[in-house]
Amino acid sequence: MWRRLVYAGAAAVLAAAALLLAGSLRGERSHAARAAAPFAPPSTPQAANVERLQATLRTDPTDAKDWGQLGLAYEQRARETGDPAYYTKADGALHRALRLAPRDPVATSGLGSLALSRHRFRDALRLGDQALRLAPSSAAPHAIIGDALVELGRYSAAFRSFDTFAELKPGLAAYARISYGRELVGDQAGAIAAMRLAVAAGTAEPEPSAWTHWQLGKLYWATGRTKAADEQYRAALAIFPGYVYALDALAQVYAAKGDVDTAIDLEQRAANQVPLPQFVAGLGDLYRIDGKPKAAARQYGVIGVIDRLLVANGVRTDLETALFRVDHGLQFRATLALARRAQHERPSIDGDDVLAWALARNGHCTEALRYSRLALRLGTRDALKFFHRGMIERCLGDSAAARDWFGRALALNPHFSLLWAPVARSLR
| pLDDT digits 0-9 by tens, 104-125 | 999 999 999 999 999 999 999 9
28/395: higher pLDDT: 395
* C-alpha to C-alpha distance for 263 and 20, rounded to whole angstroms: 20
pLDDT band at 11 (very low <50, low <70, confident <90, very high): very low
Closest to 194 measured CA to CA, from 401, 403, 398, 2: 2
Centre a 10 Å sphere on the Cβ of residue 304 and count the other Cβ atoms it contains.
14
Q: Which of 398, 400, 420 is nearest to 409 (CA)?
A: 420
Query: What pTM does this model have?
Result: 0.86
d(CA 164, CA 167): 5
The yes-or-no verdict on residue 31 having pLDDT over 50 is no
CB proximity list for 346: less than 8 A, separation 6 or greater: 119, 121, 151, 152, 153, 318, 319
Residues 222-279: tens digit of each pLDDT: 999 999 999 999 999 999 999 999 999 999 999 999 999 999 999 999 988 877 778 9
Burial annotation 203-234 (CB, 10 A radius, 16+ → b, else e): eebbbbbbbbbbbbbbbbbbbbbbebbbebbe
List own/partner pairs for 150-153 with CB under 8 A and 24 or more apart: 150/11, 150/12, 150/13, 150/14, 150/348, 151/14, 151/116, 151/119, 151/121, 151/346, 151/348, 152/121, 152/122, 152/125, 152/346, 152/347, 152/348, 153/346, 153/347, 153/348, 153/349, 153/351, 153/352
Q: Which of these ranges, 244-253, 307-316, 380-389, has the smallest mean pLDDT? A: 307-316
Helix 303-312 and helix 277-289, axial crossing angle in degrees, nearest 10: 170
User: CA nearest 151: which of 327, 343, 324?
Assistant: 343
Q: What is the DSSP letter of 18?
A: P
Q: How far apart are alpha carbons 128 and 146 in whole angstroms? A: 9
pLDDT, mean over the chain: 88
